[in-house]
Amino acid sequence: MSKHFEDARYYLGRAADHAKEGVKEELEPVEERVREIVGREREPEPSRLDRLEADLTDLSRKAEGEAKEAVQQARETVDEYRSGRSRE
């Protein structure tokens, strides 16, 4: 790709980002007024720590479920082995 096209693509991306931020900034007062009228407060965005804690909780639950499944499968395997041995 020509260097000129690469430059143009880069600057178009930056222009789009700036336009998006500008629109967001211009509409913030309108959003606040609408929220006051409707009676809905803005929910705070979760902090990085909150997101990490949520991820860790999800991982913990998933790991616990997988561990329970593994234990159940092991018990079934042992029961099958024992029942097969007692028949011989």
Would you state the pLDDT for residue 43? Answer: 79
In contact, 35 and 41? CB cutoff 8 Å:
yes
* Residue located via tokens 């965005």: 45
3-state SS assignment for residue 2: coil
88: confidence class by pLDDT, cuts 50, 70, 90: low
pLDDT tens figures, 25-47? 999 999 999 988 888 887 788 89
pLDDT tens figures, 47-85? 999 999 999 999 999 999 999 999 999 999 999 999 986
86: confidence class by pLDDT, cuts 50, 70, 90: low
In contact, 46 and 54? CB cutoff 8 Å:
yes
